[in-house]
Amino acid sequence: MKQKNPLYLVKGKTVHPTHTVWEYVIEKFNLRPVINILFQLISFILEQVKDYPSFVFARNFIENIIEKLQGMRARFS
């Protein structure tokens, strides 16, 4: 199914099509390194889970991040 009005990101002299608003925002503000660091941080925390208290901490940490991202999504939608 072809998208009716695709988004285009202009960086310098190049034009890149984007598929979603989030992809556009990530590329426009060059947030890819921040997202990579966030994924590495979450991976590190999950690797440290050895017992129930550390699991609870990891779960609360990830839920907190998800809530903040959903709040940002609500503001931009």
Query: Does residue 21 sit in the same domain as residue 36?
Result: no
| Whether the Cβ atoms of residue 7 and residue 1 lie closer than 8 Å to each other | no
The 3-state DSSP class for residue 66 equals helix
Which residue, chain included where needed, has tokens 């017992």?
A: 51
Query: Does residue 15 sit in the same domain as residue 41?
Result: no
Tally the C-alpha atoms within 13 A of residue 21's C-alpha that lie toward its C-beta. 5
The 3-state DSSP class for residue 50 equals coil
Query: Does residue 54 sit in the same domain as residue 72?
Result: yes
Query: Does residue 22 sit in the same domain as residue 38?
Result: no
Q: How many domains does the chain have?
A: 2
Query: Does residue 1 sit in the same domain as residue 25?
Result: yes
pLDDT in tens, the chain (77 residues): 565 667 888 888 888 888 888 888 888 888 999 999 999 999 999 999 999 999 999 999 999 998 998 888 777 66
| Whether the Cβ atoms of residue 21 and residue 28 lie closer than 8 Å to each other | no
Query: Does residue 56 sit in the same domain as residue 37?
Result: yes
Q: What confidence score (pLDDT) does residue 6 get?
A: 73
Q: What confidence score (pLDDT) does residue 26 get?
A: 86
Predicted TM-score of the model (pTM): 0.66
Q: Which domain holds residue 52?
A: 32-77
Chain centre distance of CA 51: 28
